[in-house]
Amino acid sequence: MAATAKTPSVSAGWRFWPRPSVRTPEPRKAVGNSANRFSPARHITAKLPPTLILHGDEDKLVPLQQSQLFVQRAAAAGVMVKLVVKAGAGHGGKVWPNVEEDRTTMADWFDLYLRGKDTPKP
């Protein structure tokens, strides 16, 4: 019988980040304050590529302040960075207002920083 690969569930998403040595159903609580070492804002260098962040102001999983800190530190390192705060949006999922507008924002960002094309301004 051939083995089949399992697709990780959303709840298993933390496994894609550096893992704490303690495995519990709530790994973030198990890690406590040492979770700061896993924060992307602590690993910014001038070699970071241009970064676009879309963050919902109703996100209950990742505080908006995390994205704001990332933007502040990336800008200080001389990295091109932009934060788009989505009013009424949570952490992705089905409730994300104006998703078509966001697709255009992302496509324009990629065109500008990956393809080097100027994009029309609305």
For 46-60, how does the pLDDT look when each residue is reduced to its tens digit (9 = 90+)?
A: 999 999 999 999 999
Q: Is the pTM of this model over 0.75?
A: no
Q: How many CB atoms lie within 10 A of CB 55?
A: 20
Secondary structure of residue 83 in the 3-state scheme:
strand
Burial of 89 (0-12, 13-18, 19+ CB in 10 A): buried
Residue 76 reports pLDDT greater than 80: yes
**Rounded-to-integer distance, Cα 99 and Cα 90, Å:** 13
**Rounded-to-integer distance, Cα 69 and Cα 41, Å:** 7
The pLDDT-based confidence of 96 (bands split at 50, 70, 90) is confident
Residue found by looking up tokens 């009424």 in the block: 88
